Amino acid sequence: MAETADKVRVYPYRWAVLIAYMLINIVVQIQWLTFAPVARAAEVYYAGQFNPASLLNIDFLALIYMLAYLIVSVPASYVIDTWGIRVGIGIGAVLAAVGGLLKGLLATSFAAVVIGQVVLAVAQPFVLNAVTALSARWFPLRERGTAAGLAALAQYLGIILVMIVTPILVVTTAGDPAYGQGVDNMLLIYGIATAVAAAIAILVIRERPPTAPSTEVMERHSFFKGLRHIFSLRDMRIMLILFFIGLGIFNAVSSMVDGIAENLHVVDSDGMIGAVMLIGGVIGAVVLPILSDYTRKRKAFLVACIAGMVPGLVLLSFAAWITGGPGVNPDGAYIVAMVGSFLLGFFVMSAGPIGFQYAAEISVPAPESTSQGLLLLSGQITGLIFVAGMSMRENAYLPAFLIAFVVLAVVALIGVSRVRESPAMRDS
């Protein structure tokens, strides 16, 4: 039954809820990619505790997040849809605090760090899958793309921070006798920050305002009925393929930034390829979802985002050849790769929040967290495959994967051109 106009009200507290959610999102992303920009230095720090040539290596810590998401995503969406965002995000916050402190307090043990990372990986779906459910409960339709964009911005800020701050806290200068030192202090700082953000989320986030923020029909299918409804929709099936490709590429590049730099013959682990990609993503995640809300269009922006990621991937994948060949001009290749990384971040990372909101709108009355969880799950599957393949035999197959990403982006562009505009945007 639709809410009557006199029962509709927008509350300023919605911004406090969103900010608290953004904080827990930031620290969860920091914990995901803690070692991505300093993988080689971290290998030296944990020397003798694992075999660098095996799958259980430093890159495996980022891969754990994707592996756990495959298992926990559906149960997390079920919890959010059944018991609400406060319970769902609360579970994620408690687990994140425990995992973060475990990594920080037992930082010298690689086995303990792996266990802490597993706990954090279980926490992530309870946080990530709540974006569209939170925006639907607290924000009017005209602001939901913006809310989803700001939530995505938090993810990207977390990854930017880890790409910039971690190399500052850890000695990454090749040849320095202290190479790799600082990992323990870095993990402790991140663990304390995670616990603080978790406490804020638990205290501030509420289930819903006293009255609805819009006049739309609020009833939703049950979780399992919503799943059947989502898979019956042609445009949702296309969106799942798009996230299968786009989010998988983003997860792979984010997790392998140090390996990509090494492939370009860059000596130091400075994480700048990842940082530049995230800076582009921050700008895109703020600007494009707001424009999508303002113009009442989703499809046009999704097409533009996928089209824009193609040249970004071309520059990132062929940077060495553009500058004369592998090893000829590593500094020039690094600059070209960073330009490509910026374009990739700007377009593919702004496609995320727009795609989440589009999926929530076209799959009504399925629960919002169910549609979002499925999209994230599809990208985690390919991200897991891509990272595992790229890191095998000490990154021997990384260049081939980068070239394959270009081809997959073109396939995604063909697919996104076939989706229809969101009915909610068309009718508004």
Whichever domain contains 99, its CATH number is 1.20.1250.20
Residue, of 233 and 220, whose pLDDT is higher: 233
Which pLDDT score is estimated for 1?
34
Both tokens of residue 124? 């992530």
Q: Which tens digits make up the pLDDT trace of 308-346?
A: 999 999 998 888 788 877 777 878 888 898 899 899 989
For residues 18 and 201, give the distance between their C-alpha atoms in angstroms, rounded to a whole number. 10
Which pLDDT score is estimated for 291?
92
Ordered DSSP codes for 197-218: HHHHHHHH--S--SS-SSSSB-
1 in a structural domain: no
Helices and strands of the chain, counted as H and E runs: 18, 0
Plot region of 212 (φ>0 → left; ψ -120 to 50 → alpha; else → beta) = beta
Which pLDDT score is estimated for 52?
67
Both tokens of residue 228? 């059947």
For residues 250 and 344, give the distance between their C-alpha atoms in angstroms, rounded to a whole number. 8
Structural domain including 153 reads 10-212+221-427
376 in a structural domain: yes
333 in a structural domain: yes
Per-residue b or e along 101-110, where b marks 16 or more CB atoms closer than 10 Å to that residue's CB: bbbbbbbeeb
5 in a structural domain: no
Which one-letter amino acid corresponds to residue 89? I
Which pLDDT score is estimated for 270?
57
253 in a structural domain: yes
Backbone angles phi, psi at 269, to 5 degrees: -90, 90
SS3 at position 2: strand
Count the Cβ atoms, other than its own, within 10 Å of residue 417: 13
Q: Which tens digits make up the pLDDT trace of 99-144?
A: 999 999 999 999 999 999 999 999 999 999 998 889 888 998 888 8
2 in a structural domain: no
Q: Is residue 197's pLDDT more than 60?
A: yes
For residues 121 and 63, give the distance between their C-alpha atoms in angstroms, rounded to a whole number. 9
For residues 334 and 260, give the distance between their C-alpha atoms in angstroms, rounded to a whole number. 10
Closest by CA to 312, choosing from 383, 217, 410, 170, is 410
342 in a structural domain: yes
Q: What is the DSSP letter of 38?
A: G
3 in a structural domain: no
For residues 60 and 418, give the distance between their C-alpha atoms in angstroms, rounded to a whole number. 36
Average pLDDT over residues 355-384: 85
- On whether the CB atoms of residues 351 and 409 are closer than 8 A, the answer is no
Q: Number of folded domains in the chain?
A: 1
